[in-house]
Amino acid sequence: MSEVLLELHGVTVRFDGLTAVHELDLNIERGMIRALIGPNGAGKSTVFNVVTGIFRPSSGSIRFRGEEISRLNPYHIAARGIARTFQNIRLFKNASVLDNVKVGRHYRCRSNIWDALLRLPGFKAEERQTAEASLEVLELVGLAHKKHELAMNLSYGEQRRLEIARGLASNPVLLLLDEPAAGMNPQEKKNLMRLIQDIRDRGVTVFLVEHDMKFVMALSEKITVLDYGRKVCTGSPTEVRSDPRVIEAYLGKEVG
């Protein structure tokens, strides 16, 4: 059994009286493509928000590489090697594609205000390296030719890919993808699937939330199903597909 990278134990998230996630236990093993699925409002994005420090869990623990991170701020968590994308695409719209990716490399760089003002050789070297690394990631997602465009001028699918590139630029250990295939056509989905596999092959563990069952089943190695904030089951795609509780959660009682 491979190393457990991220470990959620008894995580509960409550928003004034409403329980979005209830006593969730979840393990993510290194090197996998791991998925979290569930019907609308099941609490999937909340899990992401709690892992990345945007929300604090009401109770429970979240350990990343053995270290408790549930009380840390988003920027501390990012610096430990977790990058993410957002369900409703949160790019820096009025910045260029290249600059978006460069921001992703923020904590990989060290230069401060004085370096920026004096433009010493060290600063120039770091800027050059940042640009090169960013371009490389852009090439991976196939957006290198649009590096000078403003992010807002990209098509929807391109914006999704740019968000992935921005997350990748930081060389994360774990990449969280929040509904990466939403709004994409079948061809784009196919390309995206290949991209996600590429990312995994580069040694980045991928954890994704997705609506599209077909997409998830074809891509992930292990799936957890969430319904009304509770875990329904965890297993391989075949196991999950045949689990009657999953069918019930998705289709309601009348079918099951």
Kindly list the residues in this chain that would bind another protein in the complex (CB under 8 A): 45, 49, 52-55, 73-75, 78-79, 83-84, 86, 90-95, 99, 102-104, 106-107, 109, 111-113, 115-117, 119, 123, 126-127, 130, 148, 166, 170
Distance CA 246, CA 243 (A): 6
- Is residue 144 classed as helix, strand or coil in its secondary structure? helix
Give least dist CB 65 to another protein, A: 16
Q: Which is nearer to another protein, 92 or 250 (CB)?
A: 92
Given a contact cutoff of 8 angstroms between Cβ atoms, the answer to whether 52 and 62 are in contact is no
Give least dist CB 123 to another protein, A: 8
Q: Which is nearer to another protein, 86 or 207 (CB)?
A: 86
What string of DSSP letters covers 45-97?
A: HHHHHHHTTSS--SEEEEEETTEE-TTS-HHHHHHTTEEE--TT----TTSBH
Give least dist CB 134 to another protein, A: 11
Reading the block at residue 81, the tokens are: 């090697």
Q: Which is nearer to another protein, 177 or 249 (CB)?
A: 177
Query: Which of 142, 154, 173, 135 shows the shortest CA–CA distance to 92?
Result: 154
Give least dist CB 246 to another protein, A: 27
Q: Which is nearer to another protein, 78 or 249 (CB)?
A: 78
